[in-house]
């Protein structure tokens, strides 16, 4: 449900009477909470907030926040705990264990299939169909997902542990988790049920002294999956990430096959994914140690990847975030931030920048520059890296949100206020509505008859008595005009970002200065993943004119590039040909000086 970004519609504080009602509802939903736990969970004085959100499919969800962390979410008057809550109360729900590689699939929106459920020696918890359950990883009792059982325990066993067992609602690392403080699961030892397991637990405690990240059972079938994990021992977060190997799906479905593969694979034989993780770490620390200076901050994360990390990649190798266990560069930086190596902030909406680096961090100080990279070449690379690195233009998709006035037209298709749609989805919804209500003009199929709903949604008051038919094109254009404009931007190596309104174009203007001198001013470069300082440096070298970075008047964090003379010709060539930006996203190219005829 929360595997994709959602939209926040409102955020209000919970007052006394509402707080008491919430406590009563929580007590009814989770009767095994004691009175002390209930008071601790829904405190009397600490700040509690309720947030109304809409998920990517249009579902309305209520989220309750405590200490900036989501603790509960409510769907159709049913309360569900978040992973933050389950880490405090791990025994709140009956728990089912799965293999660690399955977590990545669940976080991507998949449901939990029964072949991926580990059956302990003590047997599965007894649940009925529709029971709310927690999902844990083998070796750690801290839940990583909240799910609803699609069949009872008896039905699971009768089906031979095949088929879909749980409909997953929320997971660790999904967008609801990201709305909190992004902390990681604690390490909670599994419950010991018999003497054999007690001996196994004792062995694990000894192992914990040497490897404090997380412990696993010594049972051979369980221990083998350690080979399928990427355990970042130095990570404060101890994130478990499944390896996307050719047999990953089979490992998720059949635990026995996974264990066999694990036993056959040598421990020191790294997978391609592990190699890519190592390469990303190497280039990351190399870039911080040799490329980035304090004066470069704040630095766009996309520029850091493109202009600094790529240049630190050894010859014959190539960085590809999709082939790593992180999958997204933002998640890689998030893990580095949790280790307190750097700090990332969203200075402009949807555009993240590195604002602080701890160059005294032990990992940076201990990093040794690989052979083949000398300090002299590093200095030379830093001067020319902006020109050498390839800029990837962002993918920009216009979207539309259902406004209040348009609800009657879209509610038949199951959409509500705030539902986000593409233009093709809007078109299909309109076509289905017209055909379902038999509104196509029988005499001329190029026209659509205007019924009461179309009249209220698409016609102005002055038109309602005059227009009874609309052409298809007019119908579509009127509909799009009355929906809330949105746009989705996808930067290279980052997840898509949905913003309100239409994206602002790169604005190019010519201003007059003293002594009748002209300057070219460029704004909104950051919105397209372009570093203003890099653009200024490149332009300065191309036209041999002074270029500076200045704050945009009336803003706090945005800057503009100013370069002497009318440089629109050079700027147009750079933006359109080198950076491959569509012309429709550039405003002011018509102000280029007219080239005089040579005599």
Average pLDDT over residues 47-69: 83
Q: Are residues 135 and 96 in contact, defined by beta-carbon separation less than 8 angstroms?
A: yes
The reported pLDDT for the residue numbered 387 is: 41
Exposure of 427 in the CB half-sphere (CA atoms within 13 A) = 8
Average pLDDT over residues 43-48: 81
The residue among 178 and 246 whose pLDDT is bigger is: 178
pLDDT at residue 321 tops 80: yes
Q: Going by DSSP bridges, is the β-strand pair 506-512/586-587 parallel, antiparallel, or unpaired?
A: parallel
Nearest-10 crossing angle of helices 272-290, 375-388? 100
pLDDT at residue 96 tops 90: yes
pLDDT at residue 586 tops 90: yes
The reported pLDDT for the residue numbered 246 is: 40
pLDDT at residue 434 tops 60: yes
pLDDT at residue 5 tops 90: no
Confidence class for position 191, pLDDT limits 50, 70, 90: low
Minimum mean pLDDT range among 331-335, 370-374, 503-507: 370-374
Assigned token pair, 16: 């006394």
The reported pLDDT for the residue numbered 56 is: 66
Average pLDDT over residues 273-286: 91
Alpha helices in 162-303 (DSSP H): 175-178, 195-210, 220-223, 248-253, 255-264, 272-290, 301-303
Assigned token pair, 89: 């109360």
The reported pLDDT for the residue numbered 239 is: 37
Assigned token pair, 576: 């359109």
pLDDT tens, residue by residue, 405-429: 999 999 888 888 889 999 999 999 9
Average pLDDT over residues 190-204: 47
- Grouping H, G, I as helix, E, B as strand and the rest as coil, residue 575 is helix
The reported pLDDT for the residue numbered 234 is: 35
pTM above 0.75, yes or no: no
In the chain, % of residues over pLDDT 70: 81
Q: How would DSSP label each residue in 299-348?
A: EEHHHIIIIIIGGGSPTT----GGGSSS-SHHHHHHHHHHTTSEEEEEEE
pLDDT at residue 561 tops 80: yes
pLDDT at residue 249 tops 80: no
Strand (E) positions, 359-505? Answer: 395-401, 420-422, 447-449, 469-471, 484-490, 497-500
pLDDT tens, residue by residue, 375-410: 434 444 444 444 445 678 888 999 999 999 999 999
DSSP state of 419: -
pLDDT at residue 247 tops 50: no
Using left for φ > 0, alpha for ψ between -120 and 50, and beta otherwise, residue 554 falls in left
Confidence class for position 543, pLDDT limits 50, 70, 90: confident
Confidence class for position 238, pLDDT limits 50, 70, 90: very low
Q: Going by DSSP bridges, is the β-strand pair 559-564/112-113 parallel, antiparallel, or unpaired?
A: unpaired
Average pLDDT over residues 367-374: 74
CB atoms within 10 A of CB 44: 10
Confidence class for position 192, pLDDT limits 50, 70, 90: low
In angstroms, the CA 306 to CA 300 distance is 10
Q: What is the mean pLDDT of the chain?
A: 80
Average pLDDT over residues 332-338: 92
Confidence class for position 298, pLDDT limits 50, 70, 90: confident
The reported pLDDT for the residue numbered 252 is: 42
Confidence class for position 332, pLDDT limits 50, 70, 90: very high
Confidence class for position 232, pLDDT limits 50, 70, 90: very low
Q: Are residues 373 and 321 in contact, defined by beta-carbon separation less than 8 angstroms?
A: no
DSSP state of 597: P
pLDDT tens, residue by residue, 103-162: 988 988 899 999 999 988 888 999 999 999 999 998 889 999 999 999 999 999 998 899
Q: How far is CA 182 from CA 24, 72, 335, 442, in A?
A: 28, 16, 10, 58
């Amino acid at each position: 449900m929360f595997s994709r970004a959602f939209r926040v519609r409102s955020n209000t504080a919970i007052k006394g009477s509402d707080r008491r009602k919430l406590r009563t509802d929580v007590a009814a939903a989770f009767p095994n909470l004691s009175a002390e736990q209930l008071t601790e969970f829904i405190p009397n004085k600490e700040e509690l907030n309720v947030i109304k959100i809409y998920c990517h499919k249009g579902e309305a969800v209520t989220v309750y926040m405590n200490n900036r962390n989501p603790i509960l979410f409510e769907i159709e008057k049913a309360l569900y705990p978040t992973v933050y809550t389950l880490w405090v109360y791990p025994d709140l729900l009956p728990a089912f264990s799965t293999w660690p590689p399955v977590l990545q699939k669940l976080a991507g929106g998949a449901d939990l299939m029964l072949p991926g459920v580990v059956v302990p020696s003590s047997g599965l918890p007894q649940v009925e169909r529709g029971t709310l359950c927690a999902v844990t990883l083998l070796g750690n009792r801290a839940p990583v997902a909240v799910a609803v059982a699609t069949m009872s325990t008896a039905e699971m066993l009768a089906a031979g542990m095949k088929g879909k067992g749980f409909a997953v609602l929320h997971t660790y690392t999904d967008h609801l988790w990201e709305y909190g403080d992004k902390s990681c699961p604690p390490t909670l030892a599994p419950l010991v049920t018999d003497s054999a397991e007690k001996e196994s637990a004792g062995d694990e405690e000894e192992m914990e002294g040497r490897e404090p990240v997380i412990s696993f059972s010594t049972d051979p079938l369980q221990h083998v999956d350690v080979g399928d994990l990427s355990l970042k021992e130095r990570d404060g977060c101890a994130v478990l990430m499944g390896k996307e190997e050719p047999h990953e799906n089979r490992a998720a479905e059949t635990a026995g096959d996974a264990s066999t593969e694990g036993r056959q694979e040598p421990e020191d034989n790294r997978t391609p994914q592990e190699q890519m993780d190592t390469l990303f770490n190497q280039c990351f620390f190399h870039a911080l140690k040799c490329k980035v200076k304090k004066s470069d901050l704040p630095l766009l994360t996309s520029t850091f990847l493109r202009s600094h990390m790529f240049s630190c990649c050894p010859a014959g190798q190539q960085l590809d975030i999709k082939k790593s266990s992180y999958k997204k560069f933002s998640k890689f930086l998030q893990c580095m931030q949790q280790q307190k190596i750097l700090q990332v902030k969203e200075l402009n909406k949807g555009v993240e920048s590195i604002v602080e680096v701890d160059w005294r961090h032990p990992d940076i100080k201990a990093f040794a520059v690989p052979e083949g990279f000398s300090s002299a070449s590093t200095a030379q690379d830093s001067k020319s890296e902006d020109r050498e690195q390839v800029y990837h233009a962002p993918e920009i998709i216009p979207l539309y949100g259902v406004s209040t006035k348009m609800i009657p037209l879209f509610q038949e298709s199951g959409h509500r206020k705030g539902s986000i749609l593409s233009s093709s989805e809007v078109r299909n919804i309109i076509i289905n509505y017209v055909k379902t209500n038999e509104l196509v003009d029988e005499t001329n199929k190029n026209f659509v008859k205007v019924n009461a709903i179309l009249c209220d949604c698409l016609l102005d008051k002055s038109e309602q008595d005059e227009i009874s038919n609309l052409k298809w094109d007019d119908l579509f254009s009127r509909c799009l005009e009355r929906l809330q404009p949105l746009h989705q931007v996808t930067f290279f190596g980052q997840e898509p970002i949905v913003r309100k309104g239409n994206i602002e174009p790169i604005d190019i203007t010519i201003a007059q200065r003293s002594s009748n001198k002209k300057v070219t001013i460029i704004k909104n470069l950051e919105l397209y993943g372009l570093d203003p300082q890099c653009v200024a440096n490149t332009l300065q070298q191309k036209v041999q004119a002074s270029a500076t970075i200045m704050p945009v008047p009336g803003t706090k964090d945005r800057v503009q590039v100013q370069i002497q003379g009318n440089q629109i010709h050079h700027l147009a060539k750079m933006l359109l040909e080198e950076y491959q930006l569509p012309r429709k996203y550039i405003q002011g190219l018509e102000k280029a000086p007219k080239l005089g005829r040579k005599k």
